[in-house]
Amino acid sequence: MNQFDLKGKIALITGASYGIGYAIAKAFHAAGAVIVFNDINQEKVDMGLASYKADGIDAHGYVFDVTDEEAVTEAIAKITKEVGTIDILVNNAGIIKRIPALEMSAKDFKQVVDIDLNGPFIVSKAVAPGMIAKGGGKIINICSMMSELGRETVSAYAAAKGGLKMLTKNLACEWGAFNIQVNGIGPGYITTPQTAPLREEGHPFNTFIVTRTPAGRWGTPEDLQGPAVFLASSASDFVNGHILYVDGGILAYLGKQPS
Ligand code: NAP
Ligand code: GCO
């Protein structure tokens, strides 16, 4: 029996028109799952549908803002009616605002926390009843190294991702009895549009990250595919409340010692 088989499962990945969510959706499809994804506007969903189609994936796309509880509830009901009950949820949608705390408005801070922390709560709460009725499910929250570490200019993001780590653990406690496993993936620094500003030619951050990562490179969205399939599959049925860091070793590393 292939413990990593997702045949017959319906997976919802939020914010998955491109980037990490898209890569995870491709891996889930390769493992046999039916792919459902969302994005915040029709233009992005249409772009995503075209990409999935080009990759031979007949994905189902839905437009909703993960912070809008009414829209999320309606969308989950629509997905359940049109596709089926969701077995696997990946709370991937997220933003970052890189602004020094002294310069950051409360409005900007709130927007990051709304999308990166409140959103996963809202979507998980909407999806869980169907999982409970079906006898179980998998929820994977895309956390971050900033669930563990801080750095200048990302206070809102680190607060949200730190909160998402604890939300993951707490929902694991509340829903474990329903055979729902709630875990997180903590990616290191990954080459997506979100980090593109940090990778611009000559940006000092590029060298900083590569020297701080034992693997000596940026991660790619594809580096997250195997860990995501593991946490979405029966191979992880006794893994609950765990954050799986996929970071090339950066969290284990104090940094290159002076020669
Ligand atoms: P990305 O390229 O910026 O993609 C994020 C996706 O989420 C986009 O499709 C975005 O849509 C969507 N989104 C944003 N706000 C939304 C909302 N309110 N409702 C629905 N969808 C929304 O990011 P990424 O690099 O793929 O990252 C995906 C996740 O991994 C995020 O949670 C991020 O924090 C996390 N992460 C990223 C890295 C990294 O190094 N890249 C590392 C650790 C964790 P729009 O394009 O319309 O904004
Ligand atoms: C940043 C980066 C990071 C990554 C990721 C690291 O500005 O520091 O965007 O936050 O996105 O979250 O795990």
Distance (Å, rounded) from C-alpha 165 to C-alpha 159? 10
Q: 98: helix, coil or strand?
A: coil
| Residue owning the nearest CA to atom 39 of ligand 1 | 190
Q: Phi and psi at residue 79, in whole multiples of 5°?
A: -60, -45
- Residue type at position 44: K
pLDDT at 202: 81
What residue ranges do the domains of the chain occupy? 10-190+219-248
Question: What integer pLDDT is reported at residue 200 of this predicted model?
Answer: 85
The superfamily in CATH containing domain 10-190+219-248 is NAD(P)-binding Rossmann-like Domain (3.40.50.720)
Mean pLDDT of 197-215: 90
- For residue 65, which atom of ligand 1 is closest to its CA? 19
203 vs 84 pLDDT, higher one: 84
What integer pLDDT is reported at residue 105 of this predicted model? Answer: 98
Active-site position among 157, 189, 245, 253 = 157
The amino acid at residue 134 is: K
Share of the chain above pLDDT 90, in %: 94
Encode pLDDT of 119-138 as tens digits.
999 999 999 999 999 999 99
**Ligand 2 atom closest to the CA of 147, numbered from 1:** 13
> Does residue 180 sit in helix, strand or coil?
strand
Measure 145 CA to ligand 2 centroid, in angstroms: 7
Confidence grade of residue 203 (pLDDT, cut at 50, 70, 90): confident
Contact (Cβ atoms closer than 8 angstroms) between residue 60 and residue 53:
no
pTM of the model: 0.98
Mutate to test the pocket of ligand 2, among 92, 95, 96, 151 (most ligand atoms within 8 A of CB): 96
Confidence of residue 1 (pLDDT cuts 50, 70, 90): confident
Q: Is 62 a catalytic residue?
A: no
Mean pLDDT computed over every residue of the chain = 97
Positive or negative torsion for Cα 10, 11, 14, 15: negative
